[in-house]
């Protein structure tokens, strides 16, 4: 009887992990540039004496959906949406190079260029710093140009260029800070062909309808696993009572 409990428990644990991932995705529907998380599991035959009749659920490596979200025009100079599979290089809290599609950029009082989540944006030589300017423009290749304070409208000076990279499937993982990191902990090379769209933002790539449907299906699966464990406990009690009667 106990074998059924462990089989149902393994399924319930894996289902609970999937529900956590889906609920996290749905909670970030409005987060700019959010990349949806997913979990996976596979059925594994339990080895032992006799025929392989028991199957357990084994968790696989969690992943991230790198597909693009919808593009929304904002008209704001510091908003950028990356094209295709390009990524913006940023500096994580521990100083490592990380990547994001979040393009709602901000300027601090001292000129540091940050993402909306507060991570420094990387350029050709490290974190980007922009001098005081009357106007800031970001080109399609990530080049940042400014019109210095007090200069005529035609005077534009190049300050830096946003470091844009591209990754292959399986090269990236998501950290607890929401940033993307390479699996082998090495920096991705600059992608000279990567482009951004200025004055626009990319929404999260979460499909709300699909997420809700998946959550309903997972909830029913979880309830089934819990019911199996309860029925197993009832069977154990019935067997014990039968033995006492005998």
Q: Please give the pLDDT value at position 16.
A: 86
In this structure, the answer to whether residues 54 and 81 fall within a common structural domain is no
Distance (Å, whole) CA 195 – CA 228: 53
pTM value surpassing 0.85: no
∠ CA 111-112-113, rounded to 5°: 115
Strands 55-59 and 80-82: unpaired
Q: Are 68 and 201 in contact (CB under 8 A)?
A: no
Helix (H) or strand (E) holding 174: strand 172-174
Q: Please give the pLDDT value at position 164.
A: 96
In this structure, the answer to whether residues 198 and 99 fall within a common structural domain is yes
Mean pLDDT per 10-residue section of the chain, whose length is 246 residues: 72 86 89 86 74 71 82 94 92 96 94 95 94 92 90 84 90 90 92 93 91 92 86 74 66
Q: Please give the pLDDT value at position 170.
A: 81
In this structure, the answer to whether residues 162 and 76 fall within a common structural domain is yes
In this structure, the answer to whether residues 40 and 125 fall within a common structural domain is no
Q: Please give the pLDDT value at position 154.
A: 75
Q: Please give the pLDDT value at position 189.
A: 93
As for how many domains the chain has, the answer is 2
Q: Which domain holds residue 31?
A: 2-65+206-245
First to last CA, the chain: 20
In this structure, the answer to whether residues 158 and 127 fall within a common structural domain is yes
In this structure, the answer to whether residues 77 and 177 fall within a common structural domain is yes
């Amino acid at each position: 009887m106990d074998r059924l409990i462990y089989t149902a428990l393994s399924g319930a644990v894996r289902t609970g992990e999937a529900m956590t991932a889906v609920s996290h995705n749905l909670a970030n529907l409005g987060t700019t540039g959010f990349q949806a998380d997913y979990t996976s599991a596979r059925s594994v035959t339990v080895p032992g004496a006799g025929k392989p009749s028991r199957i357990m659920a084994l968790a696989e490596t969690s992943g991230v959906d790198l597909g693009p979200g919808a593009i929304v025009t904002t008209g704001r100079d510091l908003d950028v949406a990356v094209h295709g599979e390009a990524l913006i290089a940023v500096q994580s809290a521990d100083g490592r190079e990380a990547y994001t599609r979040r393009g709602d950029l901000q300027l601090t009082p001292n000129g540091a260029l940050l993402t909306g989540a507060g991570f420094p944006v990387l350029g050709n030589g490290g974190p980007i710093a922009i001098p005081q300017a009357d106007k800031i423009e970001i080109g399609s290749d990530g080049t940042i140009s400014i019109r210095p304070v007090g200069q005529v409208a035609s005077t534009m000076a190049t300050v830096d260029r946003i470091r844009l990279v591209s990754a292959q499937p399986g090269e990236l993982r998501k950290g607890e800070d929401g940033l993307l990191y390479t699996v082998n902990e090495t920096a991705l090379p600059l992608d000279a062909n990567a482009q951004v769209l200025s004055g626009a933002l990319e929404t999260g790539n979460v499909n709300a309808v699909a997420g809700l449907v998946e959550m309903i299906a997972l909830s029913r699966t979880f309830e089934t696993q819990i019911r199996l464990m309860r029925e197993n406990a009832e069977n154990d009690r019935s067997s014990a009572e039968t033995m006492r009667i005998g």
